[in-house]
Chains A and B, each alone.
Chain A
Amino acid sequence: MPRARSVILGLGGYLAHDANAALLVDGHLVAASQEERFTRIKHDGCYPRLAIADCLAQAGLAPADVTDVAFAEKPVQSALFNLTGQPGNALTRALGRFLPERVAGLYTTPARTQFPAARFHHAWHHLSHVAGAFHTSPFTRAAFLCVDGKGEDYSASAGVIDHGEIKLLWEQPWENGLGLLYTLVTAHLGFASFGSEYKVMGLAPYGRPVHVESLLKLVHTDARGGLRLREPVRFRHTVMTAAVPLVTAATGIPARGKNDPLTDAHVDLAASIQKLFEDEVIKMARFLRADTGEANLIFCGGCAQNCVAAGRLRALGIFETLFNSPVGGDMGSGLGAAILLARDRVAPGEKLRIAADGFYLGSEPGPAPTAAAPWNVPYTGSLHDFVAAEIASGKTVGWVRGRMELGARALGARSIFADPRAPGMQSRLNLAVKFRESFRPFAPAVLAEDVGAWFDSAAESDYMNYTANLLPARRAALPENFSAFKLRDRLDFPRSEIQSVIHVDFSARLQTLRSEVHPDFHSLVAAFKKITGLPILINTSFNVSGQPIVRTAAEGWDCFLNTDLDLLVLNDEVFRNPALKTRDEKLTWLAQFSKSA
């Protein structure tokens, strides 16, 4: 007897941050998208109505076709934790089980209104992360380590997943764990807490980790990576800001205002929190390896987006194989919740394999706006050959082609590309194109077949999810007093042939390009290599500071007009920049995004 059709809509990040939707039809992943790409508010945590509509449109389905809605959170558990300030227990679990769906109130009302005939389900938040990562990984069995800002009432979870059957072994209750500590220091350093932690990670290599001992005064910790703040700091923005003086008191370093200059002490603090973070994650991984004996590890949760820690974890070889999902944070939580529900599509003992197709799961960009037509650049032959030649001549290129990526990183469908050899390219892109801090490094996208000739790890990093180090033979000699240089001088000192994508410590956040995962992007870099001999391009997201990555061709055109990019590719067409606006005009345009930064 044929099974009834199953249309599962996974929803995550709602009433929190990075609201998202994913659609599974009969166990097949059809589409997934983030609400911020539609509302143009970065990390938007509203009900993801537009992302849902986009997923349904891609599948050719109507809301009435949805049979099940899976949320990546148990809202009653979260609400009770927020109200009582105490982790859940048997009583709160029972309340969550037996109170009617409408008790979830505000949380589920929009979905119940939109999908009145659907069944509703609520997955544990961390297990949504685990399922989303595991079922898109090559593993059939693995240990998992989910380190997060906050689940319902816990900050980390660990266990074993075998063909989708989850054994949840350990958890760190309360929310004030490792993720919250990192966020607290991020706030102290003057970056927006919640979502700017990656800036601290990017700043860390410039500093020396001399404040680790001071930071440890803020926490209880143990040999297994069990960590909790001594003060009862809560994971709320206002409280986080109020807690910043705790960091000042522990370290003696004054908090930095948003627009204040970065001092050496601030840079050293960034290096210190990154070092502490990596050390704690490594302790957790060692504990889990010894406890489970598993060979593979799924590293997920918001903290797993820290690709430097993931790179170090992989290099240490604590587990034989590591998978760090590109959507292991909240932007992929809806996908994980949907997968947890879809697991019964396969027989017990089998793994539900989800083809993520390079995580190009969003919609196509649509046609180029008619306003762009006068600036169309005709070309003959292949688009990839033409654009590669332009990049090799020093041009910067916006690229909007094919289905959009899911996740925080542009993987080659909504990207800006440039030549990493070009002098000053890092500053040019940061200041004149992206309007962001000059210290921020860019990622090298490297042909997978050539990565071993440049970096010390030839293992895959399809989604910019690991760091690796430039081979010593590719490095320039540094002066003995290099570490005493000012930040700006260290940044500008010629360190390698591909300066713009190599950090001051010779690390890089790699994206390795396999033709079967990123066919379009692979073709472009292969064409660039044919011209220059270099199998590497700069790949950075197509947006400006504070703005979500562009989604449509029209948004790409609008962003293009307000930056110093030279060329724009929309689908198969190429356009030149019609007018370079004044800096003030650009900053006026940019101001509309400042509220969401």
Chain B
Amino acid sequence: MARPILQIGLRLLTAISRFLAPAPGGGWRRSSRNPRDLLGR
């Protein structure tokens, strides 16, 4: 049961990430990472 749920979750996450991902083609992008973040894993 857990495995199909995980697979669906992963596909959903992949789709969202693909939508949000920077366009391919390289180059510097403004960073949105928080440099002080030591808690996020």
Contacts and interface: CB of A to CB of B under 8 A. Distances in A.
B4 interface: no
B14 A85 contact: yes
A84 B41 contact: no
A70 B14 CA distance: 29
Contact of B31 (A90, A91, A123, A159): A159
B24 A174 contact: yes
B35 A84 contact: no
Q: Give the size range of B's interface with the partner.
A: 20 to 34
Interface string A545-556: 000000000000
Given A91-B13, A169-B30, A124 B25 contact: no
A77 B41 contact: yes
Main secondary structure of the interface of B (DSSP, over half): loop
B18 interface: yes
A234 B37 CA distance: 27
Interface in A191-243: 219-222, 224-228
A74 B31 contact: no
Contact of B28 (A80, A127, A287): A287
A172 B26 CA distance: 7
Interface string A165-177: 0111111111001
Nearest to B22: A173
A333 to B, nearest CB: 14
A174 to B, nearest CB: 7
A286 to B, nearest CB: 12
A70 B24 contact: no
B10 to A, nearest CB: 6
A574 B20 CA distance: 64
Interface in B4-36: 10, 13-14, 16-18, 20-22, 24-33, 35-36
Given A287-B28, A340-B38, A173 B16 contact: no
Interface of A: 70, 74-77, 80, 83-93, 96-97, 99, 101, 103-104, 121-124, 127, 156-159, 166-174, 177, 219-222, 224-228, 287, 340-341
Given A86-B14, A123-B38, A173-B29, 9 more contacts: A86-B18, A89-B20, A124-B35, A159-B31, A169-B31, A170-B28, A174-B24, A222-B26, A227-B26
Interface of B: 10, 13-14, 16-18, 20-22, 24-33, 35-41
